[in-house]
Amino acid sequence: MIRESKAVKEKRALEEFEQALRSLPDPRRAQGKRYSLRAVVVIALMAMVCGADDAEAIQEWGEANSEWLSTFVELPHGTPTQDVILAVFAALEPQAFSGVFLSWMAFLRARLDLNGGHIAIDGKTSRGSYDRAHERPAVHTVSAWLSDESLVLGQQKTQEKSNEITAIPQLLALLDIGGATVTIDAMGCQTDIAEVITKAQGHYILAVKDNQPTLHEEIQEAFADALDAGPRPLDQSRLTIETYTSTDKGHGRIEERTLHVCRDLSWISTASRWSGLEFIAMVESVRTDLSKGTTSTQARYYIGSDAKASTESIANLIRRHWSIENELHWVLDIAFSEDSARHRAGNCAQNFATLRHFAINLLKSDRTVKLGVANKRKRAGWNRKYLIHLLTGAEC
């Protein structure tokens, strides 16, 4: 098979994105429609990049930039009001809008020449989307995070956290995970999910807890036996384990993490049920609080499918999984005020979540300035050339 050049991949991905944007179905009736769907979506995205977190702020940004916007977006009636913005995003089909996002991400990955890597999967609840009046639960979204590049690859909505089990395979089916290692917390430790990943030519590292009681207990017993230095009968061999240790010091504490990996699955009675299973792992964390003089110990357990992965790379992937919390969920709450968002009508909450992911990726993919997301948003709002650079990649 001849591998496509970066330029060819980028061109093909851009064509697919433009086609997805053109084919985005407009849910509104033609009668009385004053704004094109493209105008509303483009203005909302640009405003979101520039610091507008809700429909009212998007309206204000649009009005402040109406003269410039009218040079490339048809605005015969001026910029859209917040009522128009909310009506459009409430009616817009979330899967179709998410499809546009996925097409754009394919273009971005081609432009950055990204293949494989580490993908962390985790869910987040938009607390402000809870609708008490209509007894609608808060929107819970499962996201795929490309940790090496700090980019959102895709998202899938689920009404409740327990439904992550069904949402994760649906999300994975939308992504190109070939050659990547997917990490998921214990909620995603399911045989069906492991099979989806391996069939797509990816690898997995899944956290194991009590929701898989037999597997959890057997991994604990295997490492307890392997690490037992006491004497044993001559006919009882000890499991071979590989170990990697790292130490972090900061914020008034020292944490030592020791990863143990065992590639001998003889203790795992259910090993055949887990597609591609190659190793079990245990992370022992010893944390010392220097100010209090106290020490705490925690053990966490995992299964993995990459036979070639070193202990150091496994340790790094397990630790990098939490970047989805620190670099995505935290940014959504702090820089985008997601938990304060009150857009609840129709599909607003889900579509605004996708809009935020669009904006985060535009901001995160820029390497020209060394600023956090919040300050990049300010810069985009103050500097139109920088905004154009974020949107198009043109030099600013």
The 180-184 sheet, strands edge to edge: 151-158, 139-146, 117-126, 180-184, 203-208, 294-304, 279-289, 253-262, 242-250
Residue 129's pLDDT band (cuts 50, 70, 90): low
Let me know: does 347 contact 90? Beta carbons within 8 Å.
yes
pLDDT at 303 over 90: yes
Position 276 confidence tier, pLDDT thresholds 50, 70, 90: very high
Write down the pLDDT at residue 392.
75
Tell me which of 176-180, 259-263, 266-270 is least confident: 176-180
Residue 341's alpha-carbon distances to 32, 63, 79, 124, 334, in angstroms, are 29, 21, 22, 14, 12
Percentage of the chain modeled with pLDDT above 70? 87
Residue 90 has pLDDT above 70, yes or no: yes
Q: Give the pLDDT confidence of 56-67 residue by residue, as tens digits.
A: 999 999 999 999
The mean-pLDDT minimum among 166-175, 200-209, 312-321 falls in 166-175
Instruction: Give me the amino acid identity at 17.
Output: F
Q: Give pLDDT, residue 135.
A: 57
**DSSP secondary structure code for residue 3 in this structure:** P
- pTM equals 0.84
Q: Of the spans 135-139, 261-265, 355-359, which averages the highest pLDDT? A: 261-265
pLDDT band at 160 (very low <50, low <70, confident <90, very high): low
Residue pointed to by tokens 């000890």: 238
* 228/395 Cα distance (integer angstroms): 60
* Pairwise pLDDT comparison (77 vs 21), residue with the higher score: 77
- pLDDT category at 220 given cuts 50, 70, 90 is very high
Residues for the chain: how many in total?
A: 396
Cβ within 8 Å of residue 309, ≥6 positions away: 181, 203, 279, 317
Q: What percent of the chain has pLDDT over 90?
A: 51
Query: Of 120, 123, 42, which Cα lies nearest the Cα of 85?
Result: 42
Q: What is the mean pLDDT of residues 141-168?
A: 83
Report the pLDDT value the prediction gives residue 211, as an integer from 0 to 100.
92
Buried b (16+ CB within 10 A) or exposed e, 330-369: ebbeebbebbebebbebbbbbbbbbbbbbbbbbbbbbeee
pLDDT of residue 12: 65
- Ranking 62-76, 145-159, 205-219 by mean pLDDT, the lowest is 145-159
Which residues are 155's β-sheet partners? Answer: 143
Distance CA 307, CA 373 (A): 37
Report the Cα 73 to chain-centroid distance in Å: 31
Q: Is the model more confident about 330 or about 264?
A: 264
pLDDT of residue 283: 97
Query: What local confidence, expressed as pLDDT, does residue 32 receive?
Result: 74
pLDDT of residue 390: 85
Looking at per-residue pLDDT, the higher value among 50 and 340 belongs to 50
Question: What is the mean pLDDT of the segment spanning 71-92?
Answer: 91
Q: What is the mean pLDDT of residues 73-88?
A: 91
CATH dotted code for 211-320: 2.20.130.10
Hey, what are 144's tokens?
């795929």
Predicted confidence at residue 2, as pLDDT, reads 46
The reported pLDDT for the residue numbered 101 is 84
Res 136: pLDDT: 59
Helices assigned H by DSSP within the chain: 6-22, 37-49, 55-64, 66-69, 82-91, 94-112, 164-174, 191-199, 213-226, 311-320, 323, 330-334, 348-364, 373-382, 384-392
More confident: 387 or 237? 387
Mean pLDDT of the chain: 87
Structure-model confidence comparison of residues 293 and 108, the more confident one:
293
